[in-house]
Amino acid sequence: MRVLVTGGAGFIGSEVVAALVARGHETVVLDVRESSRDRRSVVGDVRDRETVAAALRGVDAVCHQAAMVGLGTDFADAPAYVSCNDLGTAVLLAAMADAGIRDLVLAGSMVVYGEGRYDCPVHGGVRPGPRPVAALEAGRFEPECPRCGRELTPGLVSEDAPADPRNVYATTKLAQEHLAASWARATGGRAVALRYHNVYGPGMPRDTPYAGVASFFRSALERGEAPRVFEDGRQRRDFVHVRDVAHANALALEAVRDRATGVLTPYNTGSGTPHTVGEMAGELAAAHGGPAPVVTGEFRLGDVRHVTADSGRLKTEMGWKPEVGFAEGMAEFAAAGLRGAGA
């Protein structure tokens, strides 16, 4: 199978290319940077129709990784996010429709859920709204039951949970899924969206406000500084290694042609073992031999408190399972180099 990997020179995309090649597939990379892992590389922007059309020639399926990621700095980033993520996806899907390519795996994100699942001891499953600024400023970080104000217990989110994006990036990731679903219905295509959790590993970009929290901490340690952990460090996430995510993409690309036509199917893609941000910072600092993390109490509007999801559907339907454990992965990441912010 010949697969176009958009964003194939990036952090996750380059690992997807490696995973596909290891399984005997051909790849074509479309990225704004030259790919070091694939000689069949098209340098260009996914928003450029002619470039995309050229990259799609002779391709059997598409793995769409190209995106502007992270929470951003402020709302002024909104036009760039919408342009890169949603316009880029629309251009790609239109070109796929013209070329008769009907198989797509999309890099989705767990951020589409907003806050994760919560249970109230009185009212059962509830969906708390955005946390009030006054509560955050007072150091009250845990969401409360919207009906009685009691403390909630976080749980795992399934793919059928309602979407509730809380920031611009999350909104554009949900829009990508809607665009892909519309494309599938209009063309009889088959689409899979892998909703990534917090992906980390060698090759993450350094020193950019658009990188993930693991990259922020690793960059600080490289500078000899203590990682700065926001809130109280107890916010729960699922940290999944980039090679496990790449393997999930490879399995999804092989399985997508057996999916039902005209639909998009989402799959949570996480390790299945939640850890707090504070735990991650501590594990990374210990493995790196750098300063211990500092819990600052700071917060960012748009951040959610807890979001961890059930990846059972991906494991059951595609036989995927994560191979890199938390301690092992953090030790490797602590020793590995980071790429430049623009690389």
H/E run at residue 89: helix 88-99
Find all residues with CB under 8 Å of 334, minimum gap 6, and list them. 218, 221, 284, 287, 288
Is 81 a residue of the active site?
Answer: no
Q: Residue 268: what are its φ and ψ, rounded to 5°?
A: -65, 140
Maximum CA extent, the chain: 59
What are 201's two structure tokens?
A: 């590993």
Dihedral over alpha carbons 104, 110, 111, 112 (to 10 degrees): 60
What are 318's two structure tokens?
A: 């595609």
Q: Pick the catalytic residue from 81, 113, 169, 267.
A: 169
For residues 221 and 283, what is the distance between their CA atoms, to the nearest angstrom? 12
Do residues 157 and 237 touch, judged by C-beta distance below 8 A?
no
Do residues 45 and 68 touch, judged by C-beta distance below 8 A?
no
Do residues 126 and 85 touch, judged by C-beta distance below 8 A?
no
The residues assigned a catalytic role are 169
